[in-house]
């Protein structure tokens, strides 16, 4: 219950910061991730080995939250998608900037 409440509060707070359009993200600044029925937030911190990106996703208000953590070096990216054809979100590091943008769904 506490995890669900925390995720919902974080999602609502991050919605005011803007959607997942091609935009720079500052460290600790949360971005809303919208994958249709699956939603959540992503943020990053600067670590010695790279930029640590933390994404928490859940399906609706009752879905089990899933956390994805990746450390990105310059030029690396992470793509989040669902099996439904609702698109994907790419989180990429370009130099000292992190970009979050909506992309077409993967067709693998």
Summarize pLDDT for 33-81 with one digit per residue, the tens. Answer: 999 889 999 999 999 999 999 999 999 888 999 999 999 999 999 999 9
Examine the pLDDT at 87 and tell me if it is beyond 70: yes
Instruction: State the average pLDDT for the chain.
Output: 79
Mean pLDDT of 18-35: 72
Examine the pLDDT at 32 and tell me if it is beyond 70: yes
Q: Which residues of 80-104 are buried (b: 16+ CB within 10 A; e: fewer)?
A: bbbeeeebbbbbbbeeeebbbebee
Residues 33 and 14: their CA atoms lie apart, in Å, by: 9
Examine the pLDDT at 102 and tell me if it is beyond 80: yes
Residues 77 and 79: their CA atoms lie apart, in Å, by: 7
Residues 18 and 32: their CA atoms lie apart, in Å, by: 7
pTM over 0.85: no
CA torsion through residues 76, 82, 83, 85, sign: negative
């Amino acid at each position: 219950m506490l995890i669900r409440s925390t995720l919902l509060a974080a999602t609502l707070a991050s919605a005011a910061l803007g959607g997942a359009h091609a935009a720079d993200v500052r460290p600790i600044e949360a971005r809303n991730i919208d994958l249709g029925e699956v939603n959540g937030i992503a943020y990053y911190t600067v670590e010695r080995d790279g930029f640590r990106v933390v994404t928490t996703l859940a399906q609706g208000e009752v879905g089990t939250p899933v956390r994805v953590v990746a450390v990105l070096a310059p030029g690396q990216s992470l793509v989040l998608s669902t099996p439904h054809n609702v698109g994907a979100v790419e989180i990429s590091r370009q130099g000292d900037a992190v970009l979050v943008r909506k992309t077409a769904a993967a067709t693998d």
